[in-house]
Structure 1
Amino acid sequence: MLLAGEPGVGKSTLLLEVAARVAARDRVLYVSGEESAGQVRLRAERTGGLHDELYLAAESDLESVLGHVDALKPSLLVIDSIQTMSTAGVDGTPGGVTQTRAVTIGLTALAKERGLAVLLVGHVTKDGGIAGPRVLEHVVDVVLQFEGDKHSALRMVRGVKNRFGPADEVGCFELRDSGIVGLPDPSGLFLGRFGHGGDGVQPGTAVTVVMDGRRPLLAEVQALVAGANIPSPRRAVTGLDPSRVPMLLAVVERRGGLKLHDAEVYTATVGGMKITEPAADLAVALAVVSAKRDIALPADLVVLGELGLAGELRRVHGIGRRLAEAARLGFTRAIVPPDSEVGSTGMRITEAASLKQIMDRLR
């Protein structure tokens, strides 16, 4: 398995947590080529990851690692990171294409020969791709992408490749002082109206459900419309598709009859979530309408749908799963495109064919 992520996102912390849990029943060898044994131990003490069956080796030579494997016979081997490892039988510098390919192929052969689970840490390039030759992703059985914003504690593990199961799984975690903590129900992180003791739902907010892989997540979209008769008004976007939001604003103004061209419009998501799928189009549009009219949407309402340039509402995939997640978290009403397969969620469903139709009902 290859786990890739940006520097400082928490890859080593996550794998040390995994190693400590496996060590509770089997022997684990953790090989660190970037940090000293003392540094890794300090992290293990801070996160509660010390265990008698968790062995640590500060090595960067593949032959030395194989010697440790022969001596310990672990059930799990963690290599942090693959770019720091080298082998004497191959020319090139550590981290280079030749060395990285040779070490990865050697460790993969070791895993298959002995039935040994091997976790490799991989660096990423500036554009987010896995550093090194593409053969790394072809050789390994599973590729995982570890993502997170440095300004947020939320971390996501996404399956990119999986020879033994689905490749669209997503795991949600929170980075704390005590280590990495799994979040079985992360939707609350993306809803600003829950658990903060506020004054209720404010104008300019709308809730939708996005699909991250196969996991439905509730997300809140916020909008602020400020000023009038501004010659060159700003359009600021945070957490949404910056090329799609201006299009949605044009649809709201042209098809919904809402004057926006001379006002500044700010749109954002809550909790650092990034939304790119068109299923959130209706939420963005209604958040802007709510902010402009200064009328709050109902607190128990969730909205789903893609908006076309003609103002029509189009169906999105997985409506049933999305609404089931919303119902589980207490939402009782939903606005969806026509002819949507909603299933039996117990919610009061309103089907709307166009944005104008919804705006007329919200007056």
Structure 2
Amino acid sequence: MAKAKTAYVCNDCGADFAKWQGQCTECGAWNTLKEVRLGSSVKTSASGGRSGYAGSLEAKVTPLAEINLEELPRFSSTLEEFDRVLGGGFVPGSVVLIGGHPGAGKSTVLLQVLCQLAQQQDALYVTGEESLQQVAMRASRLGLPTANLQMLSATDVDAVVQAAAQVKPKIMVVDSIQVMHQAEIQSAPGSVSQVRECAAELTRFAKQSGTVLILVGHVTKDGSLAGPKVLEHIIDCSIMLEGSHDSRFRTLRGIKNRFGAVNELGVFAMTEQGLKEVSNPSAIFLQRGDEVSSGSVVMVVWEGTRPLLVEIQALVDASSLGNPRRVAVGLEQNRLSMLLAILHRHGGLMVGDQDVFVNVVGGVKIMEPSADLALLFALVSSFRDHPLPRELVVFGEVGLAGEIRPVPSGQERIREAAKHGFKKAIVPHGNAPREPIKGMEVVVVKKLSEALGAI
């Protein structure tokens, strides 16, 4: 009897090795190599053999000029915030991967979407983690229309593809990809080989049939998507549903999107009737107290295609430790250390013996450098115990030489702040408005010293 061939594949980057080792030499991660058995037989799909991820059965060379540029018609998910993250709705034949921590609401929001879409077109919900009765109980509790939604409880990917070929849905949800398996692969469900092959098989079906496929994915303890890295390369759109258990708000952020902008943000509120859209996210993130305190300032960040006003708070306190703490929630830790060095060199403020804590209110994660100037203002305000004006809004990138650099969409940021009643804005010189904005005093600065002098 021939000996079964095995390989060891890294869960983080997908690199394979002939033997097990503690550290992956490709990405540097530890204890991520998993054993994968290499089957001798070639998997033959129901669609006519092993084809590419795009699902094409015939390889035909076509001149670029002869390709039809007619855009595939999108259809709405019935949730405007969901459509915003997707880039305008679902594209037929696309594969969407949605991840998030347990309890974030992935299954809830997808059940809401499919129950509403099933009133207009064929929809199939495949559940592998819950029984049909459990899903039905959730739909009844949320008060969703359940008459037309087709349900399937299965974990065999071949059975899922056969059932979908009979139903011919326009949209299908697989919850989740980590529990799907193929009988030809010896490894357990959730392993690298199972996730890779099951996702490839489902993707081929979606591309060939024009079905919108939504895959639910698990996350690891550090918050990244579980499974091989090739999973994120196969799919067309990757989105993450984020939110802490002690907060009723959830944010849906686009990580990868072949049909729209990345880093788009959608905001939802968890209620008894499921996830409800928040049409004006700035209003919930600006719920400030009546008393103005030091270390707090409002900034305008750009999330995808719209401005968003959020409050940033800082606390600078004397440290009793030999190595003062630097804690950043919602911001990058390394950027905080860099800004503290800039503040010392170009602002004349030494906080090397102080504990520094920074928090973005509302659980928002700031991914762009436009929050640099607001963060420095909050640090100076807390250190000097000097409250900033309540009607002040700040944004701008700070360079290593102490210069204040302009940020994209500066005009729209200022107008959004004026719309919410702010009276004064401190912005980079490159973002000075071309025309005066009614009710808004705009102060432009070029250097960090000028900005600190303005407050």
Shift of 1:250: 4.0
Superposed CA offset, 1:140-186 (max 9, x none): 33222222333433322222333333334322222233211222221
Report whether the alignment pairs 1:350 with 2:451: no
Change (3 A) 1:83 1:319: same
Report whether the alignment pairs 1:20 with 2:115: yes
Opposite residue 360 of structure 1, the aligned amino acid is: G
Shift of 1:81: 0.7
The 1-side partners of 2:227 and 2:316 are apart by: 46
The 2-side partners of 1:3 and 1:233 are apart by: 38
Equivalent of residue 134 in structure 1, options 229, 254, 266 = 229
Equivalent of residue 296 in structure 1, options 369, 384, 387 = 387
The 2-side partners of 1:259 and 1:133 are apart by: 45
Q: Is the 2:294–2:388 contact (alpha carbons within 8 Å) kept by the matching residues of 1?
A: yes
Report what 1:252 is aligned to: 343
The 2-side partners of 1:228 and 1:90 are apart by: 56
The 2-side partners of 1:18 and 1:176 are apart by: 16
Q: Bigger shift: 40-49 or 62-71? A: 62-71
Shift of 1:253: 4.3
Report what 1:58 is aligned to: 153
The 2-side partners of 1:235 and 1:127 are apart by: 20
Q: Return the TM-score normalized by structure 1.
A: 0.87
The 1-side partners of 2:333 and 2:157 are apart by: 46
The 1-side partners of 2:151 and 2:286 are apart by: 41
Report what 1:223 is aligned to: 314
Report whether the alignment pairs 1:307 with 2:398: yes
- Aligned residue pairs total 358
Q: Bigger shift: 70-79 or 203-212? A: 70-79
Q: Return the TM-score normalized by structure 2.
A: 0.71
Report what 2:144 is aligned to: 49
Shift of 1:56: 1.9
Report whether the alignment pairs 1:287 with 2:374: no
Report what 1:328 is aligned to: 419
Equivalent of residue 282 in structure 2, options 187, 191, 200 = 187
Opposite residue 350 of structure 1, the aligned amino acid is: V
Opposite residue 292 of structure 1, the aligned amino acid is: F
The 1-side partners of 2:395 and 2:425 are apart by: 8
Tell me, what secondary structure is at the counterpart of 2:334?
coil
Change (3 A) 1:133 1:224: closer
The 2-side partners of 1:156 and 1:93 are apart by: 32
Superposed CA offset, 1:18-48 (max 9, x none): 1112122223211110111121122212222
Tell me, what secondary structure is at the counterpart of 1:45?
helix
Tell me, what secondary structure is at the counterpart of 1:46?
helix
Q: Is the 2:238–2:256 contact (alpha carbons within 8 Å) kept by the matching residues of 1?
A: yes
Q: CA RMSD in A?
A: 2.7
Superposed CA offset, 1:294-322 (max 9, x none): 33222222111122344332222221232
The 1-side partners of 2:258 and 2:324 are apart by: 50
Tell me, what secondary structure is at the counterpart of 1:111?
helix
Q: Is the 1:190–1:269 contact (alpha carbons within 8 Å) kept by the matching residues of 2?
A: no
Q: Is the 2:240–2:252 contact (alpha carbons within 8 Å) kept by the matching residues of 1?
A: yes
Superposed CA offset, 1:86-113 (max 9, x none): 2335444322333333322222222233
Q: Is the 1:223–1:267 contact (alpha carbons within 8 Å) kept by the matching residues of 2?
A: yes
Q: Is the 2:261–2:304 contact (alpha carbons within 8 Å) kept by the matching residues of 1?
A: no
Change (3 A) 1:290 1:36: same
Report what 1:74 is aligned to: 169
The 1-side partners of 2:316 and 2:161 are apart by: 62
Equivalent of residue 87 in structure 1, options 182, 197, 204 = 182
The 1-side partners of 2:188 and 2:324 are apart by: 53
Equivalent of residue 255 in structure 2, options 132, 144, 160 = 160
Change (3 A) 1:106 1:245: closer
What 5-or-longer segments of structure 1 have no aligned partner?
A: none
Shift of 1:343: 4.8
